Amino acid sequence: MDLERIETPAVLIDLAIVRRNIARGQEHVGALGMAMRPHIKTHKLPLIGRMQIDAGAAGIACQKLSEAEVFAAEGFADILLCYNILGAAKLERLQRLARAVNLRVVADSERVVDALAEAGSDLGVLVECDTGLRRCGVQSPSAARDLALRIAGTPGLRFGGLMTYPAPDNPARVQAFLAEAVELCEAALGPVPCVSTGGTPAMATAGQVPAATEYRPGTYVYNDRSLVARGACTVGDCALTVLSRVISRPTRDRAVLDAGSKTLSSDLLGLTGYGMLPDFPDARIVALSEEHGHVEFSQPAKLPAVGDLVRIIPNHACPVSNLTDVVHLHEGDSYLGPQPVAARGCVT
């Protein structure tokens, strides 16, 4: 692969690693008896979503309506939209989308259920549960049951089950919440059609949440430095790397890269530093300007020179996909070509 032909900074995706990550994730989730529903937020590429479906995924998950619209237009027919939809314009778009594909959505309050009623016509609505993350979600299993009843009693809506994005480090709590919520919902409404959980950080302990019937991982498809740090994968499992050029070596122990927060994002995810340079293990990306990566070396013997190309594994792959118009696909050393990031910037 002639990296010199790629303008830097550039986001590279190794499809050989992607394929392996997809197969592994599918096997892991399948072995637990759960349906696989990858979250497309990590790659935002119909091409890779199609690889996930071909490997056995039941459908996809999206966070925003505009992401779902992009994937629906590309032929994805089964979409879970893990977000409270509100506002007249969005409800109209939701209605249109629900006519075109098998769409389900979530709610965590009566206000959202009532809004969805305006858009619904046999629309499946899952109750979002806060099982410990402290983001969206009803606060107790009985509140989940109450909202399920409200959904079931609302014309145009149908109770679709339970959904959570779990805090990764307390599967017992997630299981306790979901199991009790399932029991209460079953007593009130009969069988619960789906219990959806997700997240790559919690994937290794997904077996400890047997109440779940479906798993929605996102980052597993690319992996990143945060997952290497958790021990969830190795450096060799990281499919997304950022190609960057050294533009300055102001001192013996410092280098400046042409990739800054506009390429790598400022996400820390609890880590120290803003990414790793696999070929320079003693390098630390200590700070980012928008267009500069500030690197310090503790062992100034092995250093890149001004003009050299380096590869970076970012802390968090998902925002890197969102920051670039195009990714460059390759398979190991074979360059395949650029690919527009179809669902980049979809925040509405």
Rounded Cα gap, residues 69 and 87, in angstroms: 17
Q: Using the rule CB under 8 A, which residue among 84, 175, 196, 213 binds a copy of itself?
A: 84
Q: Using the rule CB under 8 A, which residue among 41, 150, 216, 330 binds a copy of itself?
A: 41
Q: How many CB atoms lie within 10 A of CB 307?
A: 9
User: 156-186 burial by CB neighbour count: b if 16+ within 10 A, else e?
Assistant: ebebbbbbbbbbbebbeebbbbbbbbbebbe
Judged on CB neighbours under 10 Å (0-12, 13-18, 19+), 1 is: middle
Rounded to a whole number of angstroms, the minimum distance from the CB of residue 13 to a copy of itself is: 17
Tell me whether residue 34 or residue 342 sits nearer to a copy of itself (CB atom).
342
The residue type at 144: A
Residue 292 interacts with a copy of itself (CB under 8 A): yes or no: yes
Q: What are 30's two structure tokens?
A: 């399948």
Q: What are 248's two structure tokens?
A: 């300055």
The residue type at 182: V
Please give the span between the terminal C-alpha atoms of the chain, in angstroms, as a whole number.
37
Residue 330 contacts residue 12 (beta carbons within 8 Å): yes
Nearest Cα neighbor of 120 from 112, 128, 131 is: 112
Tell me whether residue 9 or residue 25 sits nearer to a copy of itself (CB atom).
9
Binders of a copy of itself among 217-256, rule CB under 8 A?
A: 245, 247-251, 254, 256
Binders of a copy of itself among 107-136, rule CB under 8 A?
A: 108-109, 111-112, 115, 130, 134-136
Beta pairing, strands 334-340 & 326-331: antiparallel
Rounded to a whole number of angstroms, the minimum distance from the CB of residue 236 to a copy of itself is: 26
Tell me whether residue 102 or residue 139 sits nearer to a copy of itself (CB atom).
139
Tell me whether residue 191 or residue 270 sits nearer to a copy of itself (CB atom).
270
The residue type at 265: S
Residue 16 interacts with a copy of itself (CB under 8 A): yes or no: no
Rounded to a whole number of angstroms, the minimum distance from the CB of residue 32 to a copy of itself is: 25
Tell me whether residue 236 or residue 345 sits nearer to a copy of itself (CB atom).
345
Rounded Cα gap, residues 348 and 346, in angstroms: 6
Rounded Cα gap, residues 144 and 150, in angstroms: 10
Tell me whether residue 34 or residue 257 sits nearer to a copy of itself (CB atom).
257
Rounded Cα gap, residues 168 and 43, in angstroms: 21
Tell me whether residue 187 or residue 305 sits nearer to a copy of itself (CB atom).
305
Q: Using the rule CB under 8 A, which residue among 26, 63, 164, 241 binds a copy of itself?
A: 63
Q: Using the rule CB under 8 A, which residue among 138, 162, 195, 227 binds a copy of itself?
A: 138
Binders of a copy of itself among 296-325, rule CB under 8 A?
A: 305-307, 318-319, 322-325
Q: Using the rule CB under 8 A, which residue among 7, 27, 279, 282 binds a copy of itself?
A: 7
Tell me whether residue 5 or residue 99 sits nearer to a copy of itself (CB atom).
5
User: How many C-alpha atoms does 76 have within 13 Å on its Cβ side?
Assistant: 34
For 219, which DSSP code? Answer: G
Q: What's the angle, vertex CA 162, arms to CA 157 and CA 167, rounded to 5?
A: 140
Tell me whether residue 55 or residue 247 sits nearer to a copy of itself (CB atom).
247
Residue 254 contacts residue 292 (beta carbons within 8 Å): no
Binders of a copy of itself among 252-291, rule CB under 8 A?
A: 254, 256, 258-259, 261-263, 265-268, 289-291
- Residues in contact with a copy of itself, total (CB under 8 A)? 62
**Under the rule (CB under 8 A), what is the footprint of a copy of itself?**
4-5, 7-10, 41, 63-64, 83-84, 86-90, 108-109, 111-112, 115, 130, 134-139, 245, 247-251, 254, 256, 258-259, 261-263, 265-268, 289-292, 294, 305-307, 318-319, 322-325, 345, 347-348
